[in-house]
Amino acid sequence: MLQVYDTEITSRLFLGTAGYPSPAVLSDAVRASGTQIITVSLRRETAGGKAGGAFFELIRGLGTKILPNTAGCHTTKEAVLTAKMAREVFKTNWIKLEVIGNQDTLQPDVFALVEAARILSNEGFEVFPYTTDDLVVAERLVEAGCRVLMPWCAPIGSAMGPQNLSALRSMRAHFPDVTLIVDAGIGRPSHATTVMELGFDAVLLNTAVAGAGNPAVMASGFAKAVEAGRLAFEAGMLEPRDMAVPSTPVIGKAVFS
């Protein structure tokens, strides 16, 4: 069981809803993943009154909890405004906070992010900030009121997988009591397993599933990979060593040669 703010969930896989071939395929993928939390971008889909209405109805019909996000926002002001719009549209205090600082790398603007996180936390939002693996930024976000952090493991949509394992490890070690969800950069199930083995609480994916040849099958693959990584973490793993250790001792044979 994982606690995310005050909600308890069993699936440690969060799924994004952008870029699927069709809403029907999205719906199949969500079902196959067993996810209980999906993210929805509010930025461009809601350019006006009835905009996005039908799509949002489909999303609501999936029966999961919705985590709206501020994808595509570049300033604190934009992000705060979008978060407030999201609260109205989806009737939730949850907001996945993204403030993009670089259009090419989609790297977060961590300064604006901290500022927006503080404003939104003070207004009663439960903020899920998309951040880097920088520990000082992470500390500032926690000070600002975040009880969940969402570090990248590689740039959004890059599918590169974890680029800096030691940074992710030290993040886990520094924030044992904060819910840590790897967001962005996961390309394949083994990437998800790797970060779950490090003790991260959950993984958020979008492109890796939406862009797969068969999104529903990939979603089910990721569900198993996330679970495998989590079970390994809970069970305790062997540390690698540089010599062989026979798993079956051979009785009667000299130990040293």
Please, are residues 97 and 78 in contact by the beta-carbon 8 Å criterion?
no
User: Shortest distance, CB of residue 23 to other proteins, whole angstroms?
Assistant: 4
User: Shortest distance, CB of residue 116 to other proteins, whole angstroms?
Assistant: 20
Residue from 157, 167, 175, 224 in contact with other proteins (CB under 8 A): 157
Binding site membership: which residues?
A: 157, 184-185, 206-207
Residue from 5, 7, 51, 105 in contact with other proteins (CB under 8 A): 51
Tell me how far apart the alpha carbons of residues 141 and 150 are, in angstroms, rounded to a whole number. 11
Binding site membership for 1-deoxy-D-xylulose 5-phosphate: which residues?
A: 157, 184-185, 206-207
Question: What's the length of the chain?
Answer: 257
Task: Work out the number of other CB atoms within 10 angstroms of the CB of residue 31.
Answer: 15
Tell me how far apart the alpha carbons of residues 148 and 166 are, in angstroms, rounded to a whole number. 20
Q: With binding defined as CB under 8 A, does residue 63 bind other proteins?
A: no
CB-hemisphere CA count at 13 Å for 154?
18
Torsion angle of alpha carbons 71, 110, 75, 57, nearest 10°? 20
Q: Which residue, 9 or 160, is less far from other proteins as judged by CB? A: 160
- State phi, psi for 11 to the nearest 5 degrees: -85, 130
List, in sequence order, every residue forming a beta bridge with 179; answer none if it has no partner. Answer: 148
Residue from 3, 5, 7, 21 in contact with other proteins (CB under 8 A): 21
**Tokens found for residue 166:** 């030691």
Q: With binding defined as CB under 8 A, does residue 45 bind other proteins?
A: yes
Residue from 7, 54, 105, 143 in contact with other proteins (CB under 8 A): 54
User: Shortest distance, CB of residue 51 to other proteins, whole angstroms?
Assistant: 4
Cα 130 to its chain centre, rounded Å, is 8
Q: With binding defined as CB under 8 A, does residue 24 bind other proteins?
A: yes
Longest dimension (CA), the chain: 82
Active site residue 224: no
The catalytically annotated residue of 65, 91, 96, 224 is 96
Q: Which of residues 180-239 bind other proteins (CB under 8 A)?
A: 211, 213
Residue from 55, 78, 84, 163 in contact with other proteins (CB under 8 A): 55
Residues belonging to the active site: 96
Q: Using CB under 8 A as the criterion, which residues of the chain lie in contact with other proteins when the complex forms?
A: 21-25, 27, 44-55, 58, 157, 211, 213
